[in-house]
């Protein structure tokens, strides 16, 4: 019986191959010359009249059912020139194929996207975008809202916000009450402060600032936590009631926001593998289609152990298919992933291909990251790129109003300090501010440019507004940041800081767009470092962690220690260290851009005290890196202390008042992994990254 059914099915399949088509179809594929373009708009026209439209799927394919005839085809995609093909004949009862390769449009200094490119277009409903002048708007056949009548049952009437722009830009608790994406019910509001806490804020506001030591930095602020240990001091007693009102917030200035960092790559065996094994994140993996479990790490150096940065590394299956592509970072490390977007594990035998100066090198027997690095030494010169690209992608919806002004101040401080700390590097910076569908704009961007003043000016002009529902256009921000920005061909670091407080939409085409952006970011060597603001939920936290894992980035989160903004989600981490946000970001940029000297020595540069006269840049050297049982730290002068922290933020070594010159620090009892060296001197903290390996 089974054989009969099989033969019948086979006959029907073969017959279908030779039977004539019963429908008239126009189909094809849209690419950028290399990769498929998801969500490109395809419209079939008769002259200026739209006949039918659709958008491309995850593979860049489209399909239109049309009446036989001759059509003009129009292809459009954000960041590319609109293409038009005239006189395409579609024959009756046949499948006509028409592919398109899009051409990148010229770069604009500022790009504003006013609406989504349509993701799934119903037949006969495709629309194009245009810009209306004020005179054209006045001529539109509009009518007052009073003439529209009451809102239909089950729907809310449109509400006009009569506040001024400046009032809307200052976040309120109302702006932070978001609507859940699926249930439609408002989320729980955040607890209001106690009267005692309000009094404490007023006293802090009215009292003159006094110098305090915060993470080794002397600042005129009232800390909500202790230096170095960062133990939070709760300003209310347990038996106090919750009071209404919003505490007075200090004027925005750099160094007020507090944050923590957690790198799941550095805590793979001790943390992430446990989460995978316990099934704690299964639902989040399924929700966003990310399955970060099959990880392979390649470490590339020359014969003198100098790291080779920005080399292309490909993970390939036994049949030669590219499963993942990345670039080595400033330490020579590349992170590769198998089946990242597939719930089923990759079972084929895997190998890595590394390309340096046009020469191919191979690693055939790869071991998973849980078992260590896949090391490769090649014959190459001691040479590293000098370019650094940084894009700031910031959620500018109304819910960010409680923190965006502070964030802007922090970013401006970070930009100046990072550039001055590494003057030999060629910095370019760009920005993407994003909101959501139906707002004033979807994305507003300033292209990567060496003119840092232009980036600073662009950031200063932005403010929070719009939004209203919980999901935001995160996928549009990633598309703009990854595909539309002109990233350097060669760079020691490419970084995209993604600042947000809400999740992306969860439609299949949005998820596909996010996956495509993350894959492209890894291919280009762009580290994505999310910065989670107040209001973020647990599913979004793990999506941001997925971003950091896939692109060799990290995860940064604001904390409640500053007392600024709404309630911040407690991160899924072990112990972590709280830092001023601006110091944390400068530290990350420095860690991502620092590279060993040709003698195999890593540098830690001492940042000049901003209140002192600028002097020559001093630096400490440490080597070897990676280290096995010990390393040597060369100091230009005696410092207050040197502390070594593990990846969980725990202090594992501390040397008080080490002398100028060589200091040998033992490591034989430390586990393999990444450690942070922090040097405290004259109230200023400097840091560097140390890798400990075990043979």
Neighbours of 149 (CB within 10 A): 8
DSSP secondary structure letter of residue 37: P
Structure tokens given for 294: 């099959």
What is the pLDDT confidence band of residue 111, given thresholds at 50, 70 and 90?
low
Q: What is the CATH number of domain 252-261+389-591?
A: 3.40.50.410
Q: Is the pLDDT of residue 562 over 60?
A: yes
Q: Is the pLDDT of residue 136 over 90?
A: no
pLDDT of res. 286: 97
CA nearest neighbour of 533 among 576, 573, 505, 562: 562
**Where exactly does CATH 2.60.40.3080 map onto the chain?**
599-692
**Where exactly does CATH 3.40.50.410 map onto the chain?**
252-261+389-591
What does the alpha-carbon distance between residue 563 and residue 565 come to, in Å, rounded to a whole number?
Answer: 7
pLDDT of res. 58: 67
Helix, strand, or coil (residue 255): coil
DSSP secondary structure letter of residue 270: I
pLDDT of res. 146: 33
Structure tokens given for 475: 């996928």
**Where exactly does CATH 2.60.40.10 map onto the chain?**
291-378
Angle at 429 between CA 427 and CA 435, to 5 degrees: 165
pLDDT in tens, 138-161: 343 333 333 333 333 333 333 333
What does the alpha-carbon distance between residue 637 and residue 659 come to, in Å, rounded to a whole number?
Answer: 7
C-alpha Rg value of the chain to the nearest Å: 28
Average pLDDT over residues 333-347: 96
Tell if the pTM clears 0.75, that is, is over it. no
Of residues 683 and 166, the one with the higher pLDDT is 683
What is the pLDDT confidence band of residue 309, given thresholds at 50, 70 and 90?
very high
Output the CA torsion sign for 447, 453, 455, 461: negative
CATH fourth-level superfamily of 291-378: Immunoglobulins (2.60.40.10)
What does the alpha-carbon distance between residue 390 and residue 383 come to, in Å, rounded to a whole number?
Answer: 21
**Where exactly does CATH 2.60.40.1120 map onto the chain?**
20-106
Instruction: Find out if CATH 2.30.110.10 is the number for domain 599-692.
Output: no
Average pLDDT over residues 196-214: 41
CA nearest neighbour of 376 among 297, 429, 259: 297
Q: Is the pLDDT of residue 579 over 60?
A: yes
Q: Which of 27-36, 68-77, 220-229, 489-498 has the highest mean pLDDT?
A: 489-498
What is the pLDDT confidence band of residue 115, given thresholds at 50, 70 and 90?
low
Q: Which of 281-295, 418-432, 541-555 has the lowest mean pLDDT?
A: 418-432
Residues whose CB falls within 8 Å of the CB of residue 659, separated by 6 or more in sequence, listed in order: 635, 638
Residue 500 to residues 76, 276, 409, 555: CA-CA distances in angstroms? 28, 25, 16, 12
Neighbours of 245 (CB within 10 A): 12
Average pLDDT over residues 526-530: 99
CATH class of 20-106: mainly beta
What is the pLDDT confidence band of residue 229, given thresholds at 50, 70 and 90?
very low
What does the alpha-carbon distance between residue 553 and residue 547 come to, in Å, rounded to a whole number?
Answer: 7
Ranges of beta strands (E only) in 396-508 are 426-434, 443-449, 493-500
Residue 360 to residues 285, 298, 310, 465, 527: CA-CA distances in angstroms? 34, 15, 14, 50, 24
In degrees to the nearest 10, what's the CA dihedral of 567, 572, 575, 581?
A: -50
Q: Is the pLDDT of residue 186 over 60?
A: no
What is the pLDDT confidence band of residue 614, given thresholds at 50, 70 and 90?
low
Average pLDDT over residues 644-659: 89
Q: For 250-283, b where at least 16 C-beta lie within 10 A, e where not — what string?
A: bebebbbbbbbbbbbbbbbeebbbebeeeeebee
Residue 479 to residues 104, 140, 279, 512, 538: CA-CA distances in angstroms? 14, 33, 31, 11, 23
Q: Is the pLDDT of residue 295 over 90?
A: yes
Q: Which of 38-42, 303-307, 309-313, 471-475 has the highest mean pLDDT?
A: 309-313
What does the alpha-carbon distance between residue 205 and residue 660 come to, in Å, rounded to a whole number?
Answer: 42
User: Contact 411/392 with Cβ under 8 angstroms?
Assistant: yes
Q: Is the pLDDT of residue 531 over 70?
A: yes
pLDDT of res. 49: 77
């Amino acid at each position: 019986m089974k054989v009969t059914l099989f033969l019948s099915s086979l006959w029907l399949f073969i017959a279908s191959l030779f039977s004539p088509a019963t429908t008239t179809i126009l189909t094809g594929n849209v690419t950028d010359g290399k990769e498929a373009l998801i969500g490109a708009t395809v419209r079939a026209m008769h002259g200026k009249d739209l006949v039918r439209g659709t958008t491309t799927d995850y593979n860049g394919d489209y399909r239109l059912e049309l009446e036989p005839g001759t059509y003009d085809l129009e292809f459009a995609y954000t960041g590319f020139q609109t293409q038009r093909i005239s006189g395409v004949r579609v024959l009756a009862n046949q499948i006509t194929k028409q592919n398109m390769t899009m051409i990148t449009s010229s770069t604009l200094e500022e790009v504003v996207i006013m609406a989504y490119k349509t993701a799934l277009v119903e037949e006969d409903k495709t629309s194009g975008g245009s810009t209306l002048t004020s005179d054209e708007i006045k001529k539109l056949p509009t009518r007052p809202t009073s003439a529209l009548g009451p809102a239909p049952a089950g729907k809310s009437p449109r509400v006009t916000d009569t506040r001024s722009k400046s009032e809307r830009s200052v976040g309120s608790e109302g702006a932070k009450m978001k609507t859940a994406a699926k249930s439609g019910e408002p989320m729980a509001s955040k607890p209001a402060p106690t009267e005692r806490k309000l009094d404490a804020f007023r006293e802090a506001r009215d009292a003159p600032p006094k110098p305090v030591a915060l993470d080794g930095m002397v600042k005129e602020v009232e800390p909500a936590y202790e230096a170095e240990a960062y133990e939070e001091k709760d300003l209310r007693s347990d038996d106090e009631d919750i009071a209404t009102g919003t505490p007075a917030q200090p004027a925005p200035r750099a160094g007020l926001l507090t944050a923590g960092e957690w790198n799941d790559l550095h805590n793979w065996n001790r943390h992430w593998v446990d989460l995978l094994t316990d099934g704690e994140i299964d639902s989040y993996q399924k929700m966003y289609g990310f399955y970060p479990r099959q990880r392979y790490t390649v470490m590339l150096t020359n014969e003198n152990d100098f790291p080779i940065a920005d080399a292309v590394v490909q993970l390939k299956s036994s049949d030669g298919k590219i499963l993942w592509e990345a670039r080595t970072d400033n330490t020579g490390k590349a992170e590769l992933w198998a089946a990242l977007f597939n719930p089923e594990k990759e079972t084929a035998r895997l190998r890595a291909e590394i390309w340096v100066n046009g020469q191919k090198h191979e690693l055939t027997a790869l071991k998973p990251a849980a078992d260590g690095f896949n090391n490769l030494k090649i014959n190459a010169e001691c040479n590293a790129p000098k370019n650094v690209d940084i894009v700031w992608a910031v959620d500018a919806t109304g819910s960010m109003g409680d923190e965006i002004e502070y964030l802007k101040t922090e970013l401006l401080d970070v930009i100046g300090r990072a550039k001055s700390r590494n003057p030999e590097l060629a910095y370019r910076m760009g920005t993407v501010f994003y909101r959501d569908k139906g707002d004033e704009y979807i994305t507003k961007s300033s292209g990567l440019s060496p003119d840092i003043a232009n980036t600073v000016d662009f950031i200063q002009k932005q403010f929070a507004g719009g939004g209203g529902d919980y999901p935001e256009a995160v996928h549009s921000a990633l598309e703009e940041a990854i595909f539309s920005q002109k990233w350097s061909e060669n760079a020691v670091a490419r970084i995209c800081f993604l600042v947000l407080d809400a999740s992306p939409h969860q439609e299949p085409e949005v998820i596909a767009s996010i996956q495509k952006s993350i894959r492209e970011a890894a291919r280009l060597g762009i580290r994505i470092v999310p910065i989670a603001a107040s209001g973020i939920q647990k599913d979004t936290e793990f999506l941001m962690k997925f971003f950091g894992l896939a692109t060799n980035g990290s995860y940064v989160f604001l904390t409640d220690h500053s007392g600024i903004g709404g309630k911040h989600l407690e991160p899924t981490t072990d112990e972590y260290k709280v830092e001023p946000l601006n110091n944390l970001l400068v530290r990350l940029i420095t860690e991502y851009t620092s590279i060993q000297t040709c003698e195999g020595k890593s540098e830690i540069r001492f940042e000049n005290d901003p209140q002192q006269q600028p002097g020559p840049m001093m630096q400490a050297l440490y080597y070897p890196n990676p280290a096995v049982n010990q390393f040597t730290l060369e100091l230009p002068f005696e410092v207050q202390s040197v502390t070594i922290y593990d990846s969980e933020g725990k202090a594992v070594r501390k040397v008080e008042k080490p002398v100028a010159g060589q200091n040998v620090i033992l490591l034989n009892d430390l586990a393999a992994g990444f450690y942070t060296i922090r040097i405290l001197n004259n109230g200023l903290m400097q840091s560097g990254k140390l890798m400990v390996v075990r043979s």
